[in-house]
A and B are shown apart, each in its own frame.
Chain A
């Protein structure tokens, strides 16, 4: 390679360094532009890793001259920045303005968008790794994988701990591009065509500065045609945009309208259906939504002492202060953070608790709709306290997804509170209490002399509302499962409801996914046990990572930095595991490119017998961890009083899983007749394919089907099945097996 001797490794590191931030930035951008949900996230990750795997497989077909490598590398660093513009600029050209395009179209768009970066990064990694291994021997495979993981960890840490808090997506992408650019230029500073390289680099730098200065503003304007974009801010939790249409101010969260001013009806319904239930409400806890006008409605009640208003995203308070009059009262305490963490420490007893959250569209959001959450809430409520939350409602008919969602959450509320009533309005408002629920809302409003525009006799027909409420209740399934933290039935129901909007039946969708997974599993295992082994390892580790992050959020609460830390530790584990094994291989065999030789001292055995069992042992460890995790989650819930210990334990498990995966990679990439570079490409691809499908299957299939704890066991079971399959192949077809490795 005509860079510095370490330029190849630097490129490997840079690929990892750019890839993780690019992945997160592009995913956030697509969520922002299309307003997707958990389903989309799973599919996005699957698309990312599958395309990268495709790139690595392509490396076997196409040639790449060494002198071109730095040029491609520079292109790689700048691609995320360029690609960021595309969803914004082209969205309203490909799709009608203002519509949610639907899952299928979003997927197609995502695939096309990700192709350039993912295929190039997979291709470059495989090509460079191939060349390094060819030059230095198979034992470098582990080191290469380790360096790539180290780069991913560095990029992930930089993004999660620094960039996401300081910059919007465009600036973050510009910083990553500039850093990657520097690394490439440094490594190839003695390149024969350094002038051309330098020119390209300068162009990238200039483009980077322009993007840094103007990118966000320029791009966002395209998203809001016929509106005056006042402000747009990317936060760790998404994008908040403020626009104006005439005198009206609109606030969008990830392109979905959060509220428009002069929309009294929504605020009045959300507040008055519940506040009239309490004779003298004094302390109110408002979980999200205050700036939409809820606080002003609450303050109409003269008995109110305090409103504790909590949002996870502090920027929402900034928006509220700047563009509304919802936060002017001194009775309102603004609290930033996760509501569950807040509630665990809250001292006050609340008469009214109103959760005005988005629906349970993700496992994260689901945490505010579970029995555990409601039980915690109730502990912080007065005996006459009333709790309310709301769900989307199409007034004249509940479709299947809605029925499932309403049934699950109705039963969940009933399992905590003795009285639950659903008031139909612009949304379905659940009101829950241990006291009798009043249904004569208009009379109650009048009795309290509350002035309202919509929630009154003129607009509300109480008999009609009562009929509709009974109609809704009559459609609910009394046997619907209660929504729990670790059995998120409401998420599956919401997915069904959401997909119905695009005429997609989720059952067929899931069956298709199961068929696909089954075929891929079978293919991977029987086409190549080496790649099959890596596929399953990637599948398991990714699956377990999703489960652990989710479990941590549920047990501990949502803290953005911690999620970033999890990802970083995972990458670190991959790096450490791969490098440890690589170093071990160096000690075992310095001169011989074959993996193992008869070595009495070390006790290693020839390729054809041991090779297959060492990764099997690692797979057994993965399976064992998968079966231990449910017990660990139960234990974690008991030691919540020691959050640092809890965090340490979670991180340790993640580290173990990822180290084992790294070791497996290093072992398997040292096997094979064409282990001199060919196998690293295939194994990398298999790892990515497994990881992508693991994340997808876990979030889309396993968790909705069996809950979080059982999903972990399911991942372990798959591991065991594959282990037996691998052993079976080796034991009963030794001739064929031997051929595999020669």
Chain B
């Protein structure tokens, strides 16, 4: 009798266990979309199965035996039918890749060009800044995560085709159009088409990017880009993988290609305590830049503040930034700035020849300029940049 009771109890337990397990499975299946709502999954999206108004056939796609592959960036996503790539913006409709980020920016603002940051490119001018949703990286500290870690289906977008972007920039008296905030590589076609029109109308084009792109698409895009700010997030493959979900090497190549193509280039390095604040690594980075001829490329060290998922890290101490700047200057880089720290002279431009201050800045404003047609007013040294 005891044995029967024990068997009955075990049966009951198994029955309840199966029931509860089934309930959990059903619930998880119902709720699973909630855990994979973001774009960076390659999952099916809740959209029409035909390309819509804001779609354009994607460039740099190849057919492989395993299906369509996007070759814009080193992610090289294989994208099955009805799904999107890691960036969320390249989608397979009936065996053809389309960009779904064309003419539908979710973020449109007018910023001072110094905010990009670009300090040697028409200072004091305004940049008409646009971005669609999506990004091909997944930085843990992204300050634009609300648009980068999602896709255009989930954002409130404007209807702003390339011609209209240029018209708006002209109307707003902006010197340039900046493709920025999220990652313009993921709205490649939109960027290129808009840039072409902008150039024809005398508007400059600024690319603000992480630089995570293959060489060929970069070269084609760069033909229409006048200036770029590239985020060199660290100088370590390991950190690039763990912090950003990418690789270092392609970004270094981007820097070289842009320099070679004479795109005005400025580089930003965000110094994150515990991640990218290793001074030895910063020295290595600056040495590489020096060796590869980036002495006249402005380098901006930015102060980190907790953002997105990196909230349990303190802000960057000011002295770390100051030390980083010193290392960069000692390595031979001529223009090294610290962003967003008030009351320092690290925002000023110093002549690399006579070491006198040629541009005095405070915030986004120039207080005094001793430049004469792009040269130092004291010694005549050419100060790299586009000044007028």
Contacts and interface: CB of A to CB of B under 8 A. Distances in A.
Interface stretch (B22-30, B64-72, B287-295, B351-359): B22-30
Main secondary structure of the interface of B (DSSP, over half): mixed
B363 interface: yes
A515 interface: yes
A359 interface: no
A728 interface: no
Interface in A390-435: 394-399, 402, 426
B34 A512 contact: yes
Interface string A232-268: 0000000000010111101010011100101111000
Nearest to B362: A458
Interface string B74-115: 000000000000000000000000000000001101111000
B38 interface: yes
B274 interface: yes
Contacts of A223: 312
A243 B149 CA distance: 31
B342 A264 contact: yes
Contact of B315 (A260, A402, A500, A678): A260
A397 B311 contact: no
- Residue among A104, A394, A501, A520 with most chain B CB within 10 A: A394
Contacts of B343: 453
A398 B10 contact: no
A396 B35 contact: no
Contacts of A257: 306, 311-315
A397 B182 CA distance: 10
B34 A509 contact: yes
B30 A520 contact: no
Interface stretch (B53-61, B140-148, B188-196): B140-148
Interface string B289-329: 00000000000000001101111111101111000000000
B27 A515 contact: yes
B140 A99 contact: yes
Interface in A87-124: 96-100, 102, 104
A571 to B, nearest CB: 27
Contact of B24 (A460, A516, A674): A516
A225 to B, nearest CB: 6
Contact of A505 (B13, B15, B37): B37
Contacts of B274: 97-98, 225-227
Given A96-B140, A464-B111, A246 B146 contact: no
Contacts of B111: 464
Nearest to A457: B365
Given A500-B146, A511-B30, A60 B13 contact: yes
Nearest to A508: B34
Contacts of A263: 305, 315
Given A459-B342, A467-B109, A516-B23, A246 B319 contact: yes
B313 A262 contact: no
Nearest to A426: B305
B315 A250 contact: yes
A35 B311 contact: yes
Nearest to A249: B314
Interface string A464-479: 1001100100010000
Nearest to B347: A458
Contacts of A453: 342-343
Contact of B23 (A467, A499, A523, A678): A523
Given A263-B315, A402-B146, A397 B106 contact: yes
Given A98-B274, A246-B320, A264-B342, A503 B107 contact: no
Nearest to B27: A516
Given A61-B10, A99-B309, A257-B312, A527 B31 contact: no
A503 B309 contact: no
Nearest to B272: A98
Given A248-B315, A256-B312, A501-B145, A396 B181 contact: yes
Contacts of A475: 156
A454 interface: yes
B16 interface: yes
B364 interface: yes
A458 B365 contact: yes
A504 interface: yes
A507 interface: yes
A245 B312 contact: no
Given A399-B150, A519-B27, A60 B10 contact: yes
Contacts of A467: 109-110
Contacts of B32: 508, 512
Interface in B224-253: 242-243
Interface string A614-626: 0000000000000
A453 B343 CA distance: 7
Nearest to A98: B313
A678 B9 contact: yes
A507 B315 CA distance: 34
A397 B312 contact: no
Contacts of B308: 501
Contacts of B310: 98-99
A456 interface: yes
Contacts of B318: 247-248, 262
B364 A458 contact: yes
A505 B363 contact: no
A710 interface: no
Contacts of B275: 97-98
Contacts of A1: none
Interface in A440-494: 453-454, 456-461, 464, 467-468, 471, 475
Nearest to A456: B363
Contact of A100 (B33, B144, B311): B311
A506 interface: yes
A599 to B, nearest CB: 29
A431 to B, nearest CB: 21
B112 A461 contact: yes
Nearest to B149: A503
A43 B313 CA distance: 26
A319 interface: no
B340 interface: yes
A503 B37 CA distance: 5
A505 to B, nearest CB: 4
B155 interface: yes
Contacts of B319: 246-248
A399 B106 CA distance: 10
B27 A512 contact: yes
Interface in A1-53: 35
A57 interface: yes
A705 interface: no
A562 interface: no
B13 A57 contact: yes
A701 interface: no
A238 to B, nearest CB: 14
Contacts of B10: 60-61
Interface string A558-595: 00000000000000000000000000000000000000
Given A519-B23, A678-B9, 15 more contacts: A97-B275, A256-B306, A394-B147, A396-B131, A397-B144, A397-B146, A398-B146, A399-B150, A402-B146, A457-B363, A458-B365, A502-B309, A505-B33, A515-B27, A519-B26
9 contacts: A243-B314, A396-B147, A397-B107, A461-B364, A503-B35, A512-B34, A515-B31, A516-B24, A519-B27
4 smallest CB-CB distances across A and B, nearest first, come from: A512-B31, A503-B38, A458-B363, A508-B34
Interface of A: 35, 57-58, 60-61, 96-100, 102, 104, 223, 225-227, 243, 245-248, 250, 252, 255-257, 260, 262-265, 394-399, 402, 426, 453-454, 456-461, 464, 467-468, 471, 475, 499-509, 511-513, 515-516, 519-520, 523, 527, 674, 678
